[in-house]
């Protein structure tokens, strides 16, 4: 009998929360950091690249979002690959390609940031790990971030181990393709 009296609460508790998307933001800066060119700033790009070849020749990417002030109560980073004829360009290399996203200090500078540690923002902490699959699906662990309403949210993306992995993508809004900062109420 006790089971049946608790059943409505158990069902309610087990339901996933349904939140409305308030805003989806695309990066306003995408800055590659290239190990083979340690002091060269490459400025902002329309596409991103994360690679490692034979354990070296790495390319990491910084991304920056201008976060609007709105009614959002939760924020999340997402990676979406639009496949099919309307999808934007993307490439993937390696076995089980996996990538980490780290929060960085809000000091990105497209005219300064390069591979050398003394020219790029400090890393503050892990945000997410995402795996990209050859069919275009993405599996993400983590991704929840503090809503930095009215400010900047900046991240560094790098390979998650591996000797030969790579992911390149072109940011596009329609259909959604790339890395986005999603705000929910």
User: What does the DSSP assignment read for 24-50?
Assistant: EE--SEEEEEETTSTT------SEEEE
Q: What number of CA atoms fall less than 13 Å from residue 164's CA on the CB side?
A: 4
CB 132 within 8 A of CB 101: no
Q: Supply the pTM of this predicted model.
A: 0.87
Q: Quote the radius of gyration of the chain (alpha carbons, Å).
A: 19
CB 79 within 8 A of CB 26: no
Flag whether 8 is in a domain. no
Please tell me what DSSP assigns to residue 160.
-
What's the domain count of the chain? 1
Flag whether 1 is in a domain. no
Range of the domain at 65: 21-184
154: domain CATH number?
A: 2.60.120
More confident site: 10 or 152: 152
Asked if pLDDT for residue 93 goes beyond 50, the answer is yes
Instruction: Give residue 4's pLDDT.
Output: 46
Flag whether 57 is in a domain. yes
Flag whether 71 is in a domain. yes
Flag whether 13 is in a domain. no
Asked if pLDDT for residue 16 goes beyond 80, the answer is no
Instruction: Give residue 161's pLDDT.
Output: 82
CB 181 within 8 A of CB 68: no
Please tell me what DSSP assigns to residue 135.
T
Alpha carbons 19 and 133: distance in angstroms, whole number: 27
* Residue range 36-79, pLDDT digits in tens: 999 999 999 999 999 999 988 999 999 999 999 999 999 999 99
10 Å Cβ neighbour count for 70?
13
Flag whether 9 is in a domain. no
Asked if pLDDT for residue 7 goes beyond 90, the answer is no
Flag whether 154 is in a domain. yes
Asked if pLDDT for residue 8 goes beyond 70, the answer is no
Alpha carbons 184 and 182: distance in angstroms, whole number: 7
Flag whether 2 is in a domain. no
Q: How confident is the model at residue 151 (pLDDT cuts 50, 70, 90)?
A: very high
């Amino acid at each position: 009998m006790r089971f049946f009296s608790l059943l409505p609460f158990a069902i309610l508790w087990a339901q996933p929360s349904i939140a409305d998307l308030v805003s989806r933001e695309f990066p306003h800066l995408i800055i590659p950091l290239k190990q083979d060119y340690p002091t060269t700033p490459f400025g902002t790009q329309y596409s991103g690249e994360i690679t490692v070849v034979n354990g070296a020749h790495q390319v990491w990417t910084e991304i920056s979002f201008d976060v609007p002030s709105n009614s959002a109560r939760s924020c999340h980073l997402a990676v979406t690959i639009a496949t099919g004829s309307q999808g934007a360009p993307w490439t993937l290399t390696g076995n089980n390609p996996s990538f980490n996203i780290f929060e960085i200090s809000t000091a990105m500078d497209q005219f300064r940031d390069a591979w050398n540690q003394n020219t790029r923002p400090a890393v503050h902490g892990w945000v997410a790990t995402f795996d990209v699959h050859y069919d275009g699906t993405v599996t993400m662990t983590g991704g929840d971030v503090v809503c930095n309403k009215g400010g900047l949210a900046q991240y560094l993306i790098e390979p998650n181990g591996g000797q030969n992995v790579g992911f390149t993508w072109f940011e596009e809004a329609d259909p959604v393709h790339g890395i986005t900062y999603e705000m929910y109420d």
